[in-house]
Structure 1
C-alpha cells in the first residue's frame, strides 16, 4: 500500500477553506498542518483535528516529515511561497495565478529552482479536471471532431464579489477570465498569439473605482490559426453559468451547465428545467478533488502534472493582455515563447 502524502495547507481563506474540506476527504492525504496569517488560539480549537496549526508557513517547510504543500494564500504571495517550498524540497500544489505582478524572468528563475530541487509543481487550473471538460479534451485528442477551429467558453458568476475580496484575489481578467483563457489554450493545443477584449461595468458601475469590470467579451487568435470566443459576467441571476463548445472540421463537442436535476417539464403552456448549480465549489467540486488526486499521483508515480508553471505563465500573459486590450481598446499581441 502506498503511504499517504503528508501535507500542509498554506492559506485558509475562501479558496483555502474549500481545499481544506477536500483534503480531508482524500484517503491518500495526511493533513499535518494548516497555516494562515490570522491564526490565533480560536483557530487551534476550531482545527483541533489537525496536529499543527501555525501562523508562519516556514514552520511547515522546516518539518522534514512533510512531503508537499498546497498554497492557497492571497495571489501576491504565491511566487515567494512557491520559491521557498521548492528550496525546502517540498512538492507544490499552488492555486492560480502564479502572480499578478511577477515578471516572466523571475518566474523562470523560480521554475528553475523547482526543477533543480526535483519537486513537482502543479497549478490549480481545476477546469482541466472537470469530468465534462476532460471528456471533451479526450475526444479532441482522439480526433472525433477533426481539426479544432473555434472554441467558445461562457463563464458567469452568480453574484458580484465584494470589492475588498476582488482587491485581494485580482480583477475579473486575472481571477476569473484566466480560467477560460487557460481552458481555451488547453482545448486547442496551441498558444494564444492575439487577444482583442472589450469590458465594461454593466452591472456595478462602482467597480470602476478599483479598476475592474463586470462584463467581458474576448476574441482570441491561436498560433495554429484557430479562434476563440469568451464571454464573462460577474452576475448571472440564475446560477453559476459554465459552458464550453469546441467546433472542428468534422464535428462539434459541447458541454452544457450542470444542475441538481436532469428532469425537464414540458406541457401545453410552458417548459422548465433546473437552474445551474449556484456556486463554483459545488459546480467544480469533483474537479477540485480530482486535481489534488492527480497531483498526488504525479508525486507518488513521478507522472507529469496536469497544469505546470509554464501553463501558468501563458495564462498570466493572456490575462495581462486581456486587461491591456480592455484599457486601450486595441488588439494585443502575445509572446508565444517561454524558456525555463
Structure 2
C-alpha cells in the first residue's frame, strides 16, 4: 500500500483526504499546512500525524504527496517533492506565472518522478462519458465546442486579489477541458471580460464575467463562458457539435423530480456548489492517479497539459487587455 502525505489542510485538502482514505491502494500518513491549527484539525479527523513539509519530503517511506496548498507554492513544492523521489498530484494551476511553470516542468522532468495536475473535471462521469462518445466517433469530426461554467456567487475580494485573475483561477478548468476534448491546445485565443457582478472585483484589476473563443489551425472553435454569479446554482454544461451530430452534458440537479401541470413544467435547480457537483470526480481522479502509478503508465493529466492550460489562460489575459487575438506559440508550451 502506498503511503501518502497531504500538503494543505484547507477546504480542498479535506476533500482529497477523504479520497485518499477511500482508495484501498493508498494510506494517508501525514498532513502539513502553513496554519498549524488547520493541520491539527484535519489530522485529528483522519487519524494521522502533523508533520512539516521538510520532514515529509525526507521520509523515504512516503511514496507520494498531494499538493493542495496555495497556488503560489505549487511550483516549488512540485520541484522539491520530485527531487525527493515522490510522485505528485498537484492541484491546478501549476503556477500563476507561465514562465515559472515552464521552469517547473523542466525541473520535474529531470527529477524523473511522475506528476499529475488536478483538473478534476476530466473525471466527472458526465463529461467523461461525453469525451468517450466523441472519441468513439459517435458524432463524427468535432467542429464547435461550447463550455458554460457559472459560479453561484463570487468569492471574497480578498481571494480575488491573490487568485491570479478569472482566466488563471476559474476558466483554467475550461481551458483544460477544451484542450482535452479537442486533443491539444488551440492556435489562438480571443477574450473579452467585464466586472459587472461586483465593482470591487473590477477595482482589483480582475473581471467577473468573460467570454473566450479558442481557434485551432484546422478551423475548429471552442467558446467558453464564465460568470462569477448564477443565483440559481452551479451551472456546468458542455455541448459539442460534430459533423454527424451533437453531444451535450447537462447540469447535475438537486433532484430528478419534474412537475408538469396545466400551468407549465418545472424541475429542480442545479446543485449549488462545486463540492456537491464534483465530489465524485475528485475520488475518481485520485483513483486514476493511484492506478497509473501501479501500472507505471502515463499520468491521466500530465504536467505538460497543465502548462498548456496555463498558456491558454495567459493568452486570454493578454487578449482581454489588448482587445486582440493572442497566438499560442511554441515557447508557451512544452514537448
Same fold (TM over 0.5): yes
CA distance in 2, matches of 1:196, 1:206: 25
**Count of residue pairs the alignment pairs up:** 333
1:304 aligns with 2:301: no
State whether structure 2 residue 63 is matched by structure 1 residue 63. no
The match for 1:260 is 254
Quote how far apart the aligned CAs of 1:336 are.
4.6
> For residue 100 of structure 1, what is the aligned residue in structure 2?
96
Give the whole-Å Cα distance in 2 for the aligned partners of 1:210 and 1:109. 28
Q: Report the Cα distance in structure 2 between the residues aligned to 1:336 and 1:149, rounded to whole angstroms.
A: 24
Q: Is the 8 A contact 1:190 1:223 kept in 2?
A: no
Asked whether the equivalents of residues 160 and 201 of structure 2 are also in contact (C-alpha less than 8 Å), the reply is no
2 CA distance for matches of 1:246 and 1:280? Answer: 22
* CA deviation string 1:27-51 (max 9, x = no partner): 32210011001114x8536523433
Task: Specify which of 11, 21, 25 is matched with residue 8 of structure 2.
Answer: 11
1:293-332 correspondence to structure 2 within 5 Å? 293-332=287-326
What's the TM-score once normalised by structure 2's chain length? 0.95
Counterpart among 97, 103, 121 of residue 115 in structure 2:
121
**Separation in structure 1 between the aligned mates of residue 257 and residue 109 of structure 2, nearest angstrom:** 49
Q: Which of the residues 66, 72, 86 maps onto 2:68?
A: 72
Distance (Å, rounded) in 1 between the aligned partners of 2:140 and 2:39:
53
Q: Structure 1 unaligned segments of length 5 or more: list them.
A: none
The two structures, once aligned, show a CA RMSD in angstroms of 1.7
Matches of 1:135 and 1:158 in 2, distance apart?
25
User: Structure 1 residues 230, 287: closer, same or farther in 2, change over 3 A?
Assistant: same
Secondary structure of the 2:147 match is strand
Query: 1:144 matched to which residue of 2?
Result: 138
Tell me which stretches of 4 or more aligned residues in structure 1 moved more than 4 Å.
none
Are 2:197 and 1:200 equivalent residues in the alignment? no
Q: Distance in 1 between matches of 2:41 and 2:132?
A: 45
Distance 1:195 1:184 in 2: 12
Give distance in 2, aligned partners of 1:102 and 1:334. 12
C-alpha distance in 2, partners of 1:15/1:28? 21
Q: TM-score, normalised by structure 1?
A: 0.93
2:21 aligns to what? 24
Deviations 1:224-274 (A, max 9, x none): 320011110001000000000111111110011001322211111121101
> Aligned ranges for residues 207-222 of structure 1 at < 5 Å?
207-222=201-216
- Return the offset for 1:121: 0.6
Give distance in 2, aligned partners of 1:51 and 1:233.
Answer: 39
**Pick from 32, 36, 48: which aligns with 1:35?**
32
Q: Distance in 2 between matches of 1:78 and 1:50?
A: 25
What displacement does 1:109 show?
4.4
Aligned to 2:182: 188
Matched, 1:53 2:50: yes
